Each structure stands twice: as structure tokens, then as C-alpha cells.
Amino acid sequence: MSVDAYLIVDQRSSPPPEMPALLKELASRYELDGYSCRQLLLGQTEALLTKGPEPRLKKIKQTLVNYDFCCHLITPSPLKFAPFILTRVEFNANELKFFGREKSLIVPKDSKLLIFLAELSGSLVERTLSQILSSHRYTGNSENSGLPLKKWQRIILQGRPVLDIYLLDEKGKPAGAVRAFPGKFDHQSLGERATLSTNQNLLKLIELTQEYAGHHRVDMRFGISALPGANLQTAKADDLGALKKNLRSLTHYAWLQADIDRQREQPTPDSESETIASAATALLTAMQPELATNLPLQKEIISELTSGVDAATATPETETSGTNRSQLPTPPDLQHHSTWNSPRTIIGISIFVGIALLVKFGNSTSWLGPMIAKSFSSGAMSGLLAAFFFIGGFRRLQLKRLIQNTPTSKIRSIAMGRVEVHGNARRQYALFSPMTNIACIYYRLVRYKRNSKKDWVVSSITSSGHIPFWIEDETGRVSIDPSAATVKAGHRQESMAEGSTAFGGFSSPDEKWVEEMIYDGALVYVLGEAQVKRTDRAPRLQRRAEALRRIKQDSQKLSGYDTNKDGRIDESEWQTARDDVDEQLLHEDLSQSDQQKRQEDQVVIGKPRHRGTPFVIAETASEAKLTDRYTLATAFFFAAAGLASGLSLWLLLQS
């Protein structure tokens, strides 16, 4: 099956005098809609005018060229790969190296590069332009001061920025790509360029890349060009599905731009004086089609946007949140659960083996069939099922009442013992979900594979349930140890195999991933037990002995205590060494005591010591929403128990 070719047109900011004749010719000769063509031809970005067989598109292209429109006839390249996620960089005089978790990309000096700085949510630009549209709907003319690249950068950096860097081969086709997110790569690897701002580090990475490029182009127009498969959905911060689609659209947009650049006779120059007023015009036209021909209004809107950005935006030099995300430590080793040694699997296997032994050696033909039939006909099986549902319902009802009866405490005033807190979750470690690569405080990834019968079976479970995190409110923060907790994540993603993540890749029909995740900054409810945090410091006598042992092994330090210079340490001189060590340990203990005056260093909320006491971590906006879930679950279990009980009673009466 042949792939349709694309006819991409470089839009014009104002309609030429011959526009009516052109639209008439496109409609009569090629059966194209005149109104749609007018909308697609106006602006100053690129747009897909039409697609189809290449011979037909060549004729349309020639018609457009006759009217002084620049067009590109391309056959879209298949997406052979997506950018991998950057973790660190290395560079020397000859090459720049990008490293991911499992992949790397080497950029030699004077390489050809395509650089894309994009904003994933789309909400910031849309909201800003909507406000300006509302206030300027009936205004007059204004001079256009343009929107310089640096100011557009600031708009992008206010939202959810992402940086894609594509290395092109001699033919201009992508040969490799890397994707960088603020705070997700080692900023120290930038060397002297590194700053305390994650967004600034992203811009420094662009500057570093430009130094190794022979020819390059920086593109910031993702989401405002009318290109196929490159649409930008408006996404909320927690709408991972929309963000995932936007990342895939960005990959598609980058490959299309590479195809278009190969058709350009003169590549677009990259300079600080270049403006992106055309990009704003394209987005305004998409939001309000009547602006396509109202250039004075467009100019005033863009001028207002230019002046408004400076007032609303400040370049951050430090992180505004409580934790400097770029300085977070590496998480501890993850927990890999084998499905063969879990309690449920062991119990299930034991029951299965027991039944198999009875069938094999117990003359099952005489008793097994009648026993099973009797258990159903007498109502015993449905009665057992009713008991199961009743127990489940009572457990959820008990948990609901416990949550309602436990007052929510402010973090600063929590007491030791059972406690309930609600606030924003913050990372203690640089933890990212493995499938969607989102900064999170908890994830659980279940991998499924197809067996010989094409059924999905669990192959492995990976969890970050042992990695502590913070929960904070307006009064302070406290550490949460989620080990052994019942975690209810608010986000669930399903994907086919490792490559098919939010960052693109390939899918496999025989492997499926299911990921549950609580993102960094989410509102989290915790019901557990507040305890004094255990210290990892060794006893003082042990630290004293180790310090004295180090002095004995250090000949230079040891000679310092030889006050009479006789070449040996007598008892009085050794006592001086003991006194110095004791004084040093005393200062360390006092210093440690001062540091641990903060509540976050002294208290941890974790698993209750008494069995049967629940430990719950749930992503929820309020306690009421959490209890509503348990209300529905309780009602379901009791309803199911009632039906099973009724069935059991009816069968019993029938028998």
C-alpha cells in the first residue's frame, strides 16, 4: 500500500492580490475547498494543504508556485526511533556526548542538528492569548513590535518545557535523537555552565549544543503549525494521557520538519533577531478564524503579548519549591517481586497440589464429583462466597469509620501514635516512573507476557514502595515510609512493551506494561503511625574506638601526640589522644542534636506496630473523596453478599 505524499505550504502573513483567482483555480481544477485553502495559506508557519498521489500534488504545487507560494512536496519518513531520555552529557574539543539510561548519542564537531524547544501543556499560551483576545476584540490599529525568540522562550519555560535534539546525517535524515527535561539530567555535567535553575540549565544545554553544530536550527513552533499528527492538546498537570500524546506529536513534528528541511532550497537561518510573530499569528488564527484577514488586530495582540510577557515572567535562578529537585539523591535499589514466592501464589499452589493429590490417589471418581455437585446444589458454595463478601464489606466499613473518626492533624502538631495527615507529596529521591518517565513519589509497574495460549500472565512486578517521600502542608513537612502500606495511586497507564512509553518507541504484541503512579506534588492522604525516626549513628563507644584506631594507623597523627619526642606514646600522651577524641565526639553529638530539632528529622509516619491497624496512602484531593470510595466499595460488597446469601438460602430450601 502506497503512502500518500504531503503538500506543505509556507504560509504568507497577508493575502496577495491574486488570492481570489488562486482559490478559484484550486477549487475548479483540483476540487479543493476555497475557504479551507484560504485559512491554510495565511500565516507564516507551515501547513498541510492537501495529501494524495504525488503526480496530482506536483500539479497543485506548480499552481501555487505560479502565485509566488513556497511549497514542499514530501513523502513523510516513517518514525524509526524516538528520542531517548537524557541523564548526563560529556564534551571535549571534538565531540559532544549525550547519555541516557541505556543509550547514548555522539555529536561530532560541525554536525547538522535540529533543536526543538517545546511546551507540552499548551495551556499557558492559550490562556495568555485568550485574555488578550477578550480585551482587544474591538480595538484598532497598533504597530507590531514582534515577539523575539527569548521572550517566546520565557513563555515556553513557564509551562512544561521539553528539549529535543536531533542529529542529522549527510542526507538530512535523523540519525539519532535525545530528549531533555528540566531537572531530569545531571546539570553538573554541564561544567561551568551549570546553574541552580532547572530551566536555565535547559537553555545552557541548547547553547552547548549550538557550539558543536556546523548548521542548526532552533524550532519553537510545535503545536502552532497546521501539520498532520503534530497537534498540541491542552493538558492539565496531572493529565498524563494528554501529555503522552503531546510527546508523540512532538516526535512526529520533528520528523516532518526534517523532511521539510530537506526540500528547502535555503534553510531558515537561526539568529537572535528572528521573530516568532508568525507563530503567534498561526495560533490566534486557529483560535479565532476571523483573525486570518484582520492583520491590524493581530499586530496589536502580539504587541500586547510582547509587553505582557516581561511583566509576568522572571528568569528563575533558584528553585522556588521547598526541595531543590536537581540535587536529589539517587533512589535506593528497587524492589523486584517474584510472582512465585508471594503469599497468594504459595497458597494457591498448595491448594492446587492438594486437590491434585486427592484426585490422583483418593479414588476421586467416587466422591469428588458428587461432593462438588452437592456443594453447589445445597448452597454451601454460595454461602462461602457470601461470607467472603460480608468480611470484605465489614473491613471496608471499618476502615471508612476509622478514617472519619481520626482527626486530620497539621504536620507541625502531629503526636506520636495513630495519625492522619493530608498534603502535597514531595520527593526525597530523584525517582521517576519507568514507563512514563514522570517525576513521582511512588510507582508500581506490572509486566505481563503472553503464554502459549495467548493469555496475559504476570512476568514481574517492580515497586518503589520502600522509598521514603515527604508530605507537606502550610505548617511543615514530615517523612513517610511507605513500606507495607496500602497505596492507592491516582494515575494508571497501560502500554505495550518497554519502547511504547510516553516518550515514543516501538510496541510489542506479546508484552504489556501496567503502571500505577503518584506524581511529585500530588495531594496525598496518609493514615499511619507517627514514630520517632531511627538513627543510623553508631553508639558513642564504638565511634570512639574507631577514631582511636584511625589515630594508631596514621603515623603522622600519632607522632603529633609524642610530646617528649622519644619515639613512643606513653600512657599520659595516649590519654591526651583519648581526651581529644572525646571532645570531638561531644561536638558532633551536640551538632547532630541541633540539626535534629526539626520535626522532619525526628519523626516518620510508617507502618503501625499493632497488627490489624491499617496503613493507607491514597492520592486524593480530600478525605471526603476517599471515604466516598470506601462507601461505594462497602455497598458493592454488601450487595454481593446479600445476593449470594439469598441464592444460598434458596438452594438450601430447594434441597
* Per-residue CA distances from 270 to 45, 216, 273, 354 (Å): 15, 7, 9, 74
Which pLDDT belongs to residue 382?
82
Residues 331-359: tens digit of each pLDDT: 776 555 555 555 666 777 777 777 666 66
pLDDT band at 369 (very low <50, low <70, confident <90, very high): low
Residues 372-388: tens digit of each pLDDT: 667 777 777 888 888 88
Burial class (CB in 10 A: 0-12, 13-18, 19+), 520: buried
- Least confident range of 83-87, 120-124, 533-537: 533-537
Which pLDDT belongs to residue 527?
87
Residues 94-127: tens digit of each pLDDT: 999 999 988 999 999 999 999 999 888 876 555 5
Which pLDDT belongs to residue 114?
94
Percent of the chain predicted with pLDDT > 90: 15
Asked if the model's pLDDT at residue 304 lies above 60, the reply is no
Question: Which amino acid is located at 211 in the chain?
Answer: E
pLDDT band at 150 (very low <50, low <70, confident <90, very high): low
The set of cell numbers assigned to 365 is 471418581
Which pLDDT belongs to residue 292?
43
Asked if the model's pLDDT at residue 165 lies above 90, the reply is yes
Asked if the model's pLDDT at residue 594 lies above 80, the reply is no
Nearest CA to 463 out of 478, 482, 436 is that of: 482
- Least confident range of 248-252, 280-284, 488-492, 630-634: 280-284
pLDDT band at 139 (very low <50, low <70, confident <90, very high): very low
What's the CA angle centered on 291, arms 286 and 292, to 5 degrees?
75
- Least confident range of 72-86, 158-172, 522-536, 588-602: 588-602
Over residues 17-34, the mean pLDDT reads 85
Tell me how far apart the terminal alpha carbons of the chain are, to the nearest angstrom: 65
Residues 271-285: tens digit of each pLDDT: 333 344 444 544 544
- Least confident range of 83-87, 291-295, 503-507: 503-507
Percent of the chain predicted with pLDDT > 70: 72
Phi, psi of 235 (to 5 degrees): -130, 140
Which pLDDT belongs to residue 258?
92
Which pLDDT belongs to residue 626?
67
Which pLDDT belongs to residue 650?
86
Q: In 166-271, where does DSSP find H-type helix?
A: 198-211, 240-263
Helix (H, G, I), strand (E, B) or coil at 345: helix
Assign residue 612 a region: left if phi > 0, alpha if psi is -120 to 50, beta otherwise? left
Residues 442-487: tens digit of each pLDDT: 999 888 888 888 888 888 888 888 899 999 988 888 999 998 888 8
Asked if the model's pLDDT at residue 362 lies above 70, the reply is no
Asked if the model's pLDDT at residue 581 lies above 60, the reply is yes
Task: Tell me how crowded residue 257 is: count the other CB atoms within 10 A of its CB.
Answer: 23
pLDDT band at 638 (very low <50, low <70, confident <90, very high): confident
Question: Could you tell me where the beta strands, DSSP code E, fall in 505-623?
Answer: 511-519, 523-532, 603-606, 616-619
Domain extent listing, the chain: 5-74, 84-318, 343-532+604-654
CATH topology of domain 5-74: Ribosomal Protein L30; Chain: A, (3.30.1390)
pLDDT band at 432 (very low <50, low <70, confident <90, very high): confident
Over residues 362-381, the mean pLDDT reads 67
Which pLDDT belongs to residue 291?
44
Which pLDDT belongs to residue 205?
92
Which pLDDT belongs to residue 181?
92
Answer yes or no: pTM beyond 0.75. Answer: no
Over residues 234-246, the mean pLDDT reads 77
Over residues 405-417, the mean pLDDT reads 81
Among 226-235, 506-515, 602-611, name the most confident range.
Answer: 602-611
Contacts of 41 (CB under 8 A, 6+ apart): 9, 11, 12, 15, 19, 22, 47, 49, 69
On average, the pLDDT of the chain sits at 76
- Least confident range of 173-187, 365-379, 508-522: 365-379
